[in-house]
Amino acid sequence: MIKNRLHFFLLALMLLLLSACTKVWHTAQYDYTANRLDSTAVYEAQIQDMIQPYKIKLDKEMNEVIATCPEDMSKQGPESMLGNWMSDVLYDKAAELSDVPIDFAMQNTGGIRIPMLRKGDITKGKIFELMPFDNSLVVVHIDKALLMTFMERVARSNGWPVSKGFYMKIKNKKVAEIQINGEELTDRIYNVALPDYIANGGSDCPFLKGCDRTIYPVLLRDMFVERATRDKVITAKKEGRIVN
Amino acid sequence: MKRRSFIKQGSIVSMALATGLHATDFYKPKVSSLTILHSNDVHSRIEPFAQDGSKYAGLGGAAKRASLISKIRSQQEHVLLLDCGDIFQGTPYFNFFGGELEFKLMNEMKYDAATIGNHDFDAGIEALDKQARPASFDLINCNYDFKDTIMHDVVKPYRIFQKGDIKIGVIGVGIALEGLVPQTLYKETQYHEPIARANKYAQMLKHDEACHYVICLSHLGYKYRGDKVSDQDLAAQTAGIDLILGGHTHTFLDEPTLLSNKEGKPVYVNQVGWAGIVLGQMEIQFEKNFKKKCVSCKPQLIK
């Protein structure tokens, strides 16, 4: 009995010593470098060679001049030349494809990815910079109440790019007056052309998510390329579509 | 180039112990080092930004990143190369070639793993699958459920890497897709709350798999004013993660942020902006020693 106890004691002691001797891996030191890849960095030839065939194909496509722009076109709101041109292209395409008459077309200012289209030759690559996202066309069919919710949202951002025939006055980031083709809003269904991003609730428009809609599988970017190629000139007028 | 040395706060005790015992130190402890290289939100920036006088003119570019990686690999034995998502979208290379070149270049640079960003679904889950399936590195995510999608056998919740003596567990988490990505693109991918999932896998890797170091690749975002889950929340509400490498918010940090996890243990959070402008490089030294002893543990931030 005593012998057993001694055995147990020895065993426990051994285990204790063993565990005290166990070594672990400590995380001892950190050293951090943020390597900025500036113009002094070296290029790896093998990678350059891999990029080259893609670059040649891309440059050929992208460097093609498709139109000219006679004057600088900013996207700066509430109303802008660039926003007007893009919204009119959206409107015309929707009007061409839709069975119902389109009331107006709108898009978010943030969806225009360059601050300005500069005067001069416009390449296809520039249109890609303007609209890199694969956004497509949606026509939403909304009643007056939902349209007003939408327009109050737009007024909070001091207006978004909109197509011809639309007039909105914004006062203190709230809608003061709206006319569509010279008419006040009435209790009817409005057909509004939008990028799918907005129609799906993007840019703080969750109220549009479930609404009645027609989806067109045509990319906004392709519409802009098509129109610029056809007209050879990209231009627009500011005519007081949105004022504040 | 910014260089910072620092050490977890919890080691001050070990340092004091080590100093006290220094005279009786008759052996040299075993050490091991690990280099972690990381990128995030490269956004198809294959070539450097154009030299047009803009903010990032001339910066970034895959060929420059690759040559730096090669140089570091020639100097360091144990290197892990990781990416935190949004590999896709941002230049016509993506619109034209559907992400093919992005993945080819990452294969060539020998990336070990990447997590998935919201923009990686931009050409549809099929397009991501097409590039990810033959890739030589794994896509890692533990809070998207891909079981009803084409990617069900492609994405792994975690991976274990052995680098010398050090066993490293890597997990990945992604952002809520609803409202951010059209459902027509991510299809039947199910999003789960990332913190519980990350915690579960980090615990498993630290304890069951006995990993010495656990890294979480995150595309949640560094920090938010609202209640959106960020890397700050991930760090504070989990245990077992040593380092969170992040993305999504395009945050440039001078150095990793040191935070406490839910057990009060140190966890670092880092992110390297976007577009491949910066390659993050974390050098970690490990020391094998008794639980309460560490000779090389550094107690403070050294600039």
Question: Which value does ipTM take for this structure?
Answer: 0.91
**Minimal CA separation from A21 to chain B, in Å:** 7
Q: Which pLDDT band, with edges at 50, 70 and 90, does B303 fall under?
A: very low
Q: What's the confidence (pLDDT) of residue B203?
A: 98
**Minimal CA separation from B255 to chain A, in Å:** 7
Contacts of B213 (CB under 8 A, 6+ apart): A27, B34, B166, B167, B168, B169, B242, B243, B284, B286
CB contact under 8 A, A29 and B67: no
Q: Does B179 touch chain A (CB under 8 A)?
A: yes
Tens digits of residue pLDDT in A130-147: 998 889 999 999 999 999
Tens digits of residue pLDDT in B163-188: 999 999 999 999 999 878 888 899 99
CB contact under 8 A, A61 and B47: no
CB contact under 8 A, A26 and B101: no
CB contact under 8 A, A29 and B296: yes
pLDDT of residue B6 exceeding 80, the answer is no
Q: Of B67, B95, B284, which has the smallest distance from its Cβ to A27's Cβ?
A: B284
- Give the integer Cα–Cα distance in Å for A109 and A194: 12
Q: Which residues in chain A have Cβ-Cβ distances shorter than 8 Å to B283?
A: 29-33
Q: What is the dihedral of CA B251, B254, B255, B258, to 10 degrees?
A: -60
What's the CA angle centered on A200, arms A234 and A169, to 5 degrees?
60
- If you search the block for the tokens 């980090």, which residue do you land on? B202
Q: What's the confidence (pLDDT) of residue B11?
A: 45
pLDDT of residue B2 exceeding 70, the answer is no
CB contact under 8 A, B5 and A29: yes
| Domains and their CATH numbers in chain B | 1-28 (no CATH), 31-301 (3.60.21.10)
- If you search the block for the tokens 């304890």, which residue do you land on? B207
| Domains and their CATH numbers in chain A | 62-243 (3.90.780.10)
Share of chain B above pLDDT 70, in %: 90
SS3 B62: helix
Tens digits of residue pLDDT in B201-240: 999 999 999 999 999 999 999 999 888 999 999 999 999 9
Please identify every stretch of chain A with a pLDDT value under 70, giving residue numbers as ranges: 1-3, 15-20
pLDDT of residue B7 exceeding 60, the answer is no
CB contact under 8 A, B280 and A41: no
**Minimal CA separation from B140 to chain A, in Å:** 24
Q: Of B7, B64, B297, which has the smallest distance from its Cβ to A37's Cβ?
A: B64
Contact B98, B127 (CB under 8 A): yes
Mean residue pLDDT across chain B: 91
Which pTM does this prediction carry?
A: 0.81
Tens digits of residue pLDDT in A168-181: 999 999 999 999 99
* Pick from A103, A77, A107, A86: nearest CA to A196: A107
Q: What's the confidence (pLDDT) of residue A8?
A: 75
CB contact under 8 A, B7 and A31: no
Q: What's the confidence (pLDDT) of residue B13?
A: 44
